[in-house]
Amino acid sequence: MAYFDCNLQLGFLYKFMANELLILKKLAARSILKKTLTMGICRNMGTQPRVQRRLGGNRATLFVYAMEGLENMAFVANAVSLVTYFFGYMNFSLTKSATTLTNFMGTAFLLALVGGLISDTYLSRFKTCVLFACMELLGYGILTVQARFHQLRPIPCKDLATTQMSQCEAATGGHAAILYTGLYLVALGTGGIKAALPALGADQFDEKDPKEATQLSSFFNWFLFSLTIGAIIGVTFIVWIGVNLGWDWSFIVCTLTILFAIVFICMGNSLYRNNVPKGSPLVRIIQVFVAAFRNRKLLIPDNTDELHEIHEKQGGDYYEIIKSTDQFRFLDRAAIARSSTGARTTSGPWRLCTVTQVEETKILVRMLPIILSTIFMNTCLAQLQTFTIQQSTTMDTNLGGFKVPGPSVPVIPLLFMFVLIPLYDRVFVPLARRITGIPTGIRHLQRIGIGLVLSAVSMAVAGFVETRRKSVAIQHNMVDSTEPLPISVFWLGFQYAIFGAADMFTLIGLLEFFYAESSAGMKSLGTAISWSSVAFGYFTSTVVVEVVNKVSGGWLASNNLNRDNLNYFYWLLSVLSVVNFGFYLVCASWYRYKTVENEQGDSKDNVDMAKV
């Protein structure tokens, strides 16, 4: 009887639990249905559920702007003033000071390729920014220690005539090792940041959504604006500290600036849309060339639909399918499936690639002439950060009783950019957008071309200003004098202002162009490629200075600008810039913009909505 009662009680218990489980399943099903319907309705209305809407957008980019402004504050302050540090504290000659700076700057921008590869292959863009910022922090720390302790530097050659500077002992051995270690840690750090940070900010907008596409275009303009604000503070406040309080204090401020930049970028971590690395883009590109070579004997089909493509989302690494183009048709052989019976066969990635992968490779090949045609503009930019800074040290820097440090003169183009960027984004772009229907107002390549023209004009103006400066030195019999010439340093403002406008058009035009045209799997690398134009411009500057010195018989061989022929050098750069612009027009007219044929899933498939 007891056994029967126990079984009866268990039966009632099992029945009760079964009813409860059925109710819970119904509630769960209703919840899932409601969530699914909500997401579907929101997606059809062009919006996202509340949880997803929190990620990305303008709010997330505020932290990107903060990091870029702070990092560029330190970097630009040194870019415009390190030539005086090398000349006055490391006892380098004028030419070596200029080439050391341009080599440092060129390496910094070239190392952006390393940051881009790491970001696309291994780490998210956020983690890449933090990693390389820590490297830059260490570099500034080493430079601070060297500037603080005179035992780590050569004895400075002060109060010597310009003609006796060759007798000074330049930094060698351990002194040079400390200097270059700190410098190139800074170069590595800033290179990685410049590759990953613009792409991180651009990732916060969906370029397939019309509203966010407009916001994406504005992002690059305001990214330049934050860069400009940081540069203004750097060339005024930090440069003033270096001139009046010492280089050790200047480097200390730079170190603290990078520390705050790391703090700010980490504060926005919960808001970012973070990319998922899709593997090395270089490996995918090499695979295309290898597969095309292996299939070199196969005939390319006239119908591109016969080429291999993966249309299922789970089958590929891309969220987009890029339409085949008629350029570089020999690479299409990489997407021809080998077949002995007429049926398609599957092969490894080194024998068979998708059309999208082939087009990704074509995009990179098409980008190379654009990069080559913009290098020379950055060669001109290097002169404004080296020889023009040296010009400023020979001129009257008084402004209303306040002595303006020579390296602070680049604040002039920055102030022009500070005014022009909001006008460009809020006035010119909306007006041009109404006419052209393009979200960016004008196409990226048109914007770059305007900048190239302005850079040529800037170099021509620089030649006339230098002629005026030398004539003042001759008129007042001050050719060999170390005293400031009776000519205001603000004469240099003409060439700086014009080049500032050129930089506004070309720099952001390149960044936006390479980000937009790059495939989903190589956005950071595309951004890094745009910076490599700046890198090769600085390296080219070193070569141009050396070649011009030898061919001209010493236009820039002396440590005395009053006896050099810097004006001839500027005019030569202007003529070469015009020739370079003609080459750019050919490259730009030949370029074919990317066309996305289809998307795999919605636009969120290329980002990881989870926190890193």
Check for a shared fold between 56-159+166-275 and 365-594: yes
Radius of gyration of the chain (CA): 29
Q: Model confidence over 109-166: pLDDT tens digits?
A: 889 888 888 888 888 889 999 999 999 999 999 999 988 887 787 877 765 555 555 5
At 13 the pLDDT is: 39
Compute CA distances 375 → 100, 164, 227, 362, 540, whole Å: 19, 36, 21, 21, 8
Beta-bridged to residue 485, according to DSSP, are: 395
Q: What is the CATH number of domain 365-594?
A: 1.20.1250.20
What's the rounded Cα separation, in Å, for the pair 605 and 141? 40
Q: Are 444 and 516 in contact, with CB atoms under 8 Å apart?
A: yes
Q: Are 231 and 507 in contact, with CB atoms under 8 Å apart?
A: no
Task: Work out the angle at residue 485's Cα, subtended by the Cα atoms of residues 480 and 488, and round it to the nearest 5 degrees.
Answer: 155
Q: Model confidence over 424-436: pLDDT tens digits?
A: 888 888 888 888 8
What string of DSSP letters covers 406-432?
Answer: GGGTTHHHHHHHHHHHHHIIIIIHHHH
Where on the phi/psi map is residue 345: left (φ > 0), alpha (ψ -120 to 50), or beta? beta
**Strands (DSSP E) found in 14-104:** none
Query: What is the sign, positive or negative, of the torsion defined by CA atoms of 89, 562, 466, 537?
Result: negative
Record the tokens describing residue 80, joined without a space.
């415009």
What's the rounded Cα separation, in Å, for the pair 583 and 585? 5
At 41 the pLDDT is: 38
What's the rounded Cα separation, in Å, for the pair 284 and 11? 63
At 387 the pLDDT is: 82
What's the rounded Cα separation, in Å, for the pair 320 and 391? 52
Q: Are 45 and 37 in contact, with CB atoms under 8 Å apart?
A: no
Bridge-based pairing of strands 320-322 and 395-396 is: unpaired
Helix (H, G, I), strand (E, B) or coil at 460: helix
Number of Cβ within 10 Å of residue 100's Cβ equals: 23
What's the rounded Cα separation, in Å, for the pair 233 and 388? 20
Eight-class DSSP state of 386: T
At 359 the pLDDT is: 87
At 267 the pLDDT is: 92
Q: Which residues contact 190 (CB under 8 A, 6 or more apart)?
A: 71, 75, 108, 132, 136
At 508 the pLDDT is: 82
**Strands (DSSP E) found in 374-506:** 395-396, 398-399, 402-403, 485-488
Q: Which residues contact 211 (CB under 8 A, 6 or more apart)?
A: 46
Eight-class DSSP state of 111: T
What's the average pLDDT block by block, 10 residues per block, for the chain (612 residues)?
42 46 46 42 40 69 93 88 82 78 85 88 89 94 88 70 61 84 93 90 82 82 90 89 87 94 92 81 88 86 78 52 82 78 62 86 88 88 79 81 73 84 87 84 88 93 91 88 84 87 86 83 82 83 84 77 86 92 91 69 37 34
Q: Are 200 and 41 in contact, with CB atoms under 8 Å apart?
A: no
Burial 147-179 (b: 16+ CB within 10 A, else e): beeeeebbeebeeeebeebeebebbeeebeebb
Number of Cβ within 10 Å of residue 535's Cβ equals: 23
What string of DSSP letters covers 337-353?
Answer: PP-SSSS-----TTT--
Q: Are 412 and 490 in contact, with CB atoms under 8 Å apart?
A: yes
Q: Which of 374, 367, 370, 382 is nearest to 539 (CA)?
A: 382
Q: Which residues contact 141 (CB under 8 A, 6 or more apart)?
A: 182, 255
Task: Work out the angle at residue 154's Cα, subtended by the Cα atoms of residues 153 and 157, and round it to the nearest 5 degrees.
Answer: 130
Residue that has been written with the tokens 């390479």 in this structure: 514
Where on the phi/psi map is residue 220: left (φ > 0), alpha (ψ -120 to 50), or beta? alpha
Beta-bridged to residue 511, according to DSSP, are: none
Q: Are 307 and 332 in contact, with CB atoms under 8 Å apart?
A: yes
CATH architecture of 56-159+166-275: Up-down Bundle (1.20)
What's the rounded Cα separation, in Å, for the pair 328 and 335? 13
Question: Where are the chain's structural domains?
Answer: 56-159+166-275, 277-307+322-337+346-352, 365-594
Helix (H, G, I), strand (E, B) or coil at 274: strand
What's the rounded Cα separation, in Å, for the pair 51 and 60? 14
At 306 the pLDDT is: 76
What's the rounded Cα separation, in Å, for the pair 534 and 516? 19
Bridge-based pairing of strands 274-275 and 607-608 is: antiparallel
